[in-house]
């Protein structure tokens, strides 16, 4: 049950920060915890994410439903790994939905990638 409470709290904080305009597209605390604070590893993961993001988006835009779903699934996992939870949420919707909102996905992916580039 504590895990569920932590998830609910994170979601509440995320929604509040979106409403008040202070939301960042990537949770750097999550990213740091994933890499045990290793800045070199964080930079490597960011570099990999940036190099793969467009390929995922191209795949999601594919007319091949199975391929698009796999690309959305991959983007969802990559986004969660770096702490881009809003992007992961949109990618998950694209994964399970026949109607993919490529515009919203591309816009959020752009925010995430711009933010990650600004960290360099």
In 3D space, the residue among 109, 97, 107 whose CA is nearest the CA of residue 55 turns out to be 109
- CATH number of the domain enclosing 39: 1.20.120.160
For 21-119, where are the alpha helices, taking DSSP H only? 28-34, 39-60, 65-82, 85-96, 102-118
Residue 8 lies in a domain: no
Q: What is the pLDDT along the chain (120 residues), one digit of tens a residue?
A: 555 555 566 666 666 555 665 578 999 999 999 999 999 999 999 999 999 999 999 999 989 999 999 999 999 999 999 999 999 999 999 999 877 788 999 999 999 999 999 997
Residue 49 falls within a domain, yes or no? yes
**This model's pTM is above 0.85:** no
- Residue 7 domain flag: no
Residue 91 counted as domain residue: yes
- The closest of 57, 99, 98, 61 to 78, measured between CA atoms, is 57
Tell me if 96 is assigned to some domain: yes
Q: Is 13 inside a domain boundary?
A: no
Domain that holds residue 29: 24-118
Q: Is 18 part of a structural domain of the chain? A: no
List Cβ neighbours of 90 (8 Å cut-off, separation of 6 or more): 101, 104, 105, 108
Q: How many residues does the chain have?
A: 120
Rounded to the nearest 5 degrees, what angle is found at the Cα of 100, between the Cα atoms of 95 and 87? 65
Number of domains in the chain: 1
Round to whole Å and give the CA distance between 97 and 107: 18
Identify whether 9 is part of a domain: no
């Amino acid at each position: 049950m504590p895990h569920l409470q932590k998830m609910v709290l994170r979601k509440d904080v995320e929604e509040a920060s979106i409403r008040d305009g202070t939301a960042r597209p990537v949770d750097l605390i999550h990213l740091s915890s994933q890499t045990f604070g290793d800045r070199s590893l964080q930079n490597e993961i960011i570099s990999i994410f940036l190099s793969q993001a467009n390929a995922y988006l191209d795949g999601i835009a594919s007319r091949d439903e199975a391929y698009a779903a796999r690309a959305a699934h991959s983007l969802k996992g990559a986004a969660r790994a770096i702490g881009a939870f809003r992007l992961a949420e949109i990618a998950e919707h694209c994964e399970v939905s026949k109607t993919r909102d490529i515009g919203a996905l591309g816009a959020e992916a752009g925010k995430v990638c711009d933010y990650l580039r600004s960290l360099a």
